[in-house]
Structure 1
Amino acid sequence: MTSVAELTTVDLSEIEFVDRMGLIMERLGGTRTMGRMYAWLMICDPPEQSLTGLAAELGVSKTAVSTVARQLEVSGMVERVPASGREHRYRMVGGGWAQIMRVQMAILKQSLDTLDFGLSILGDGRPGHRDRLEDTREFFAFILQDSDEMFERWKEYREKSS
């Protein structure tokens, strides 16, 4: 294994990128390892990596990498690719972030039903409480109102830039 002192500037920059993406994923509600793995799959060569290789590159256990790989696969951000050996190999999937956003929008849609239920049980006797629920409901509804069009615009944008 290469020591940090033997790494080139590019390698150190790659490590910093991977670590920064780990922090971003953590802030978005995932795990740091999830972000680091996804980042590594964006920049590694070859683009398909084994669980053993990912564990070595990221400095985490193979069990942790296996768990994260399954989570990222279920979310549509990575895919398992055919391999000649017994070990699974993974690669990044384009469009993964859009899929994550679609899932988040679906959760917001479900939240509207819950907030409507909350408003129905409060009645008019608790204006402060009602105001907070209405504010939250209106914010979610506002975000959702253009989400389908946003995804369509994103699709068109990607097609034009491809």
Structure 2
Amino acid sequence: MDALDKEFVDRMGLALERLGGTRTMGRLWAWLMVCDPPHQSLTDLAAALGVSKTAVSTVARYLEAGAILERVPVAGRQHHYRVAAGGWEQLLADRTARMQPLIEALETGLSVVGADRPEQRALLEETRDFYAFTARDGANVVERWKQYRYEQAQHMESREHHQPSKD
């Protein structure tokens, strides 16, 4: 890993840590975005990141379950990973769907907190409404993202067809 790659990898580690992940999670994801080849074995990842193979394996499995990484089929017993295309889209859709049990739990809270506790009811209602809004809007964000990516691809394709030849 050269110095510029290391700076990027370390910055991503700190950024993901600030978002509630782990530093190793951010560093692993970042390295897999810039490494060559774009898939690496757990042994190679551990060596590049300077962490234990166990730590890399744990984080890789977590990111794989979240659709951020995917395992690459290779000969031999080593597991290889790469960044999954569309992973963030899948992650947002999954996280949005997981909000429903929380919304239902807040509804239960509202059913047991009577009008005699207006401050608590207001807090429960606001929290429920926030998560209901976020769940609904999260699904809209995924659809808007897909549309945006489609439009970008159409725009690029159109530009490629309209460029003059270099003959």
TM range (shorter): 0.7 to 0.9
Matched, 1:47 2:43: no
SS at match of 1:146: helix
Q: TM-score, normalised by structure 2?
A: 0.85
- 2:92 and 2:142 in contact (8 A); partners too: no
SS at match of 1:90: strand
Q: TM-score, normalised by structure 1?
A: 0.87
Residue 47 of structure 2 corresponds to which residue in structure 1?
A: 56
Residue 29 of structure 2 corresponds to which residue in structure 1?
A: 38
Aligned residues: 153
Residues 65-122 of structure 1: CA distance to partner in whole angstroms, max 9, x if unpaired? 1111111111111111111222111111111112221222122222110111001000
Selected match of 2:120 from 113, 129, 144: 129
Map 1:50-129; keep pairs closer than 5 Å: 50-129=41-120
| Residues in 2 aligned to 1:146 and 1:52: alpha-carbon distance in whole angstroms | 40
Shifted more, 46-55 versus 146-155: the winner is 146-155
Matched, 1:146 2:144: no
Residue type matched to 1:132 in 2? Answer: L
Alignment root-mean-square deviation, CA: 1.5
Shifted more, 51-60 versus 20-29: the winner is 20-29
SS at match of 1:46: coil
The unaligned stretches of length 5 or more in structure 1 are 1-6
The unaligned stretches of length 5 or more in structure 2 are 154-167
Residue 18 of structure 2 corresponds to which residue in structure 1?
A: 27
| Residues in 1 aligned to 2:136 and 2:87: alpha-carbon distance in whole angstroms | 22
- 2:71 and 2:80 in contact (8 A); partners too: yes
Which ranges of 4 or more aligned residues in structure 1 deviate by more than 6 Å? none
Q: Identity rate of aligned residues, in percent? A: 56
Q: 1:15 Cα shift? A: 0.9
| Residues in 1 aligned to 2:64 and 2:24: alpha-carbon distance in whole angstroms | 14
